[in-house]
Structure 1
């Protein structure tokens, strides 16, 4: 605000600080006395409530307003002169913050907003018959245009527009009766998953995912209507062949979940450092419709997976495919090259340290220097600092050096073993 007021004065050119005395300005402290003599002849300036006024007892003295930036040398000169005159009662000293060259960037201040929502609680009289009629009228279905108990009400309403209200009531009655979870017979459950797959295949392609989502989320309610869906025998036969092939080839049995990326098996139990719960809907629907993957029943299973590990695997496979494509290998031969085992298998082996050729320097179980240590195995259950070997009179930890004493680097290993021995580390 003070910056805008200083622009209206206006400030003298080339002055980083100036004083205004009843409309007259000066950039030099020595000229203040001259301006004060002529001040009574000019009108007094208006003093705002937000102005910084130096405390003084007089209210009729001339008003001297200092426009300056606090902390500068020019401010110190003017402030010293004006405070002396204000203490003697010669002037009313007012300070307004002023910057000669302000920054064009605006300062962002944090704050909050408050919204007042006014709601009318007045009771209104309405005709119940019209309300019921409006509620009973069928609303346009923006979702899936599916049949209800064998009736397609969207087509019926187009054919008989004068019966929309009655058709809406009938549709509502059928939906409510369908939602009743009636127990199914055992023979009705045999092909239920295949019938669900047939239901999705019979729908248009752009509605298939919506039907799949609706069926998976409301399967107990939809089960009764699925029992009346005609089963596609060719689809059922193909799914059973896929189940048999995957069971014999990869060992994936009914109810199992498995993940492969370019033929690489991803162990879902191992890659769980950053576990994320994924809810996967499995069923014969997926087996037929989406790349003919192997899934055997409609159920919900929860698996733990690591998206970070998957991302690294996908990046590695992508680099491999790009490299093979750059060499001119076509798509038909890519799968053959991907089957080649390029990673060398880890060779794990164990050494038997019970041979008679090994000479032990110490024996924790028999040497006298370890006689004060407890020999109970229960000591392993006692709390200890991380990385500390518990002093137990048992040969639990053994250090065997396979070295050639003639070689120079063998001395380093011997010194390390001697260090353990001197500090009574529980190591044989």
Structure 2
């Protein structure tokens, strides 16, 4: 009775003190929708392509399952019934967890572009005016009997079919001489008839059976996109205002009132209140309008009110019923400025404060996550929120789910599975390494800071902030970008790489290029005995006699004359004689004219250290 009295008093005060128009509706909101340029694609085709990525056999099992429906899927008028039918057939191929991920993929329409791509390929093929067509080595037909005849008696002048990597080939039929591409829409009666015939021919080993989706009756509704961040900038200007509440009241009253009454507002369940007090509906509408306007008011907060605002938001989420937790968290995150006024009244329990403090210390010490940071971990793997989107998350979920399902199939339980997932299975050969560019073992080809050819460039580091075209390296007269090559001078495969870096130097790319030769460190070996040491001697001599660019050109000349075989000492001698006209024995030998480094072991130590 006390509660009933309080409600009646509130209604009475609102009726007498607040001058609120009963016909005034909820403040109009701005809703943005992002649509693709093409029409909405059938979910059955998107599901088929999803299954094709999971397992090619799943695709063909799903196609056969949908084609066996009677009546066909296309004849089901109810979209909800079509969706449930699609999921029921997909559930025969997927586990419950995989089916949940499939639902997420369908909601994002990740395979709609692929379906549209097949449609564009079909349109470029100039198909005849029929619901389903088959392409038999360049011959198009819409008739089953003619299709059977073309397969049994192929034409002698058959054309080469253009097949793509994204095409779906019937298992075991790829690379056969006779390819048949079926253009049609899965779920139609005509498609089912063609599929049964072509599947039989593929099983008999006569054709390479390929399906390409072709939706003739494209939906008039554009594909609604999701997973994108959209910024809406409202222009501040004056508009003519017109009260359209009465005009649209009849057509929107049922939908809006039902939607509004389902939501609680400030602890009041207006749907139940209207059932209890049907004679007070007008007053309840006024009271609801008053609460909406007061709750949507962006009142300024005091500085001290911000101290526990994040904790108060967490308290509001944690104390909500389990089935409402995600809904409330989403509402607070998306409407935080409006929700802040109500959050400051929330009392934070000491247990939550202690738990948050403990979690912050654990996250900071183990994961390097500070209280103001946002982190995403999937099976222990960290992902940058700013670098990954919902599509990337979906790919990760699918990959992790495949691994977990595979481990589960071989009898590994959840505890052992967690330990296995924590292992690092990355290839050691792909690990990153660092090279110390300060070491004197590196022979630099160019010097951006001191060479005159780069004098027109600015040496200011502020140039890094200047806008430039994507992918371009800024032209700054500093050795900021360094490319060091550790190569075997005798390996013929080094020639293309040396040609590439030589083009960097010739065209004044803002990169300092250095070379380290991987040669023997034996002091008893000279350039007259070992071709690798001979290449090192020739390179150093050319560097001192001319410059680094000429030395690099000499090495390339020697490799080019070798013509794919390993370089010999004779090749090096001939190149030195042609280039400098001096006695190669004086350069490659151990005489005082030798330009070899005094300590070749320093090169080996540098490479081992790197």
TM-score by length of 2: 0.34
Going by fraction, where is helix more abundant, 1 or 2?
Answer: 2
Compare CA radii of gyration and give the structure with the larger one: 1
